[in-house]
Chains A and B, each alone.
Chain A
Amino acid sequence: MKKSVYKFITVDNYEKEEVFLKEMALKGWQFTEYKGLKYHFEQSEPANIDYRIDYFDGKKDEKDDYIQLFEDSGWTLVSTYTIFDGEWCYFKKAAQDKEVNEIFTDNESKIALFEKIRYRWTLYGFMLMFLIPFSLSTTLPRGILFISIPMVILFSVAIILYVKLWLNLSMKIKRMKR
């Protein structure tokens, strides 16, 4: 049996995504892919699985080597999700009794990932900010308010989310640098 769950998690909180996927596996739902804003699952025996997510933005000919390194160290690539000029890679590994499986074992590498995400997502946030005046200037003079009002609301929500994302990531980076 399969099922899909709609869940809204912004990238600055991707660790919550890892916890969510683990909890689903414990309940007998194994993650298969993220598609159409939904998490897709397949029913199985309840299992204790660690999920880890990384953002790969290297060159195409580097990806095989990247995935191979994860597989050599016991991770299985579950699914990828392409966004901007990189992709989120979802890895899984059976949980161990003694220690938690981690893909980042020092602060520098985790900070590097957060900075990468912050840079990419903020860039797109700025682009949205330029879209608002542009869309208003095309819709307002023609009196199509019923289009421009929802547009302003939509863009405002997006921008608030981007600001929250930037602040949250910056706080996490600061905390780790200390």
Chain B
Amino acid sequence: MSDEDLHKVYNPMTETAFYVLLSLQEERHGYGIMQDVEELTNNRLSFGAGTLYGSLSKLKKDGLIDIVKEEGKRKIYQITPTGKTFLQLEKKRIEELYKNSERID
């Protein structure tokens, strides 16, 4: 995917992609991501296995995450430098959103 296409898909990104990338700043297997995101969001976000797997294979195909090793049948994923770049862009966007939300009365 070209850089321009990547921007179309990941800038801004979906909430699912955001939390998967956030969680994968540390290496984890699929179920580890599920648990981490549930903890981070107080169980508000509980990924279904199909949704998470779909997101993982798409992020991997687009080069935002990679498989770093295998533990038994489980593959261990981690964010790539490209993934980090897009996560940083998302952070800036959310900071702006947050700042502007102060104007809500």
Contacts and interface: CB of A to CB of B under 8 A. Distances in A.
Contacts, number: 71
Main secondary structure of the interface of B (DSSP, over half): helix
Interface string B57-86: 110000000000010111100000000000
B94 interface: no
A92 interface: no
A155 to B, nearest CB: 34
A108 B16 contact: yes
Contacts of A58: 57
Interface size class of chain B, counting residues whose CB lies under 8 Å from the partner chain: 20 to 34
Nearest to B30: A69
Interface string A98-138: 00001111101100110000000000000000000000000
Interface of B: 14-16, 29-31, 34, 45-55, 57-58, 70, 72-75
10 contacts: A62-B75, A65-B29, A66-B53, A69-B30, A69-B52, A102-B48, A105-B47, A106-B15, A106-B16, A108-B54
Closest 5 CB pairs of A and B: A72-B31, A103-B50, A69-B30, A105-B48, A109-B51
Interface of A: 52, 54, 58, 62, 64-70, 72-73, 75, 102-106, 108-109, 112-113
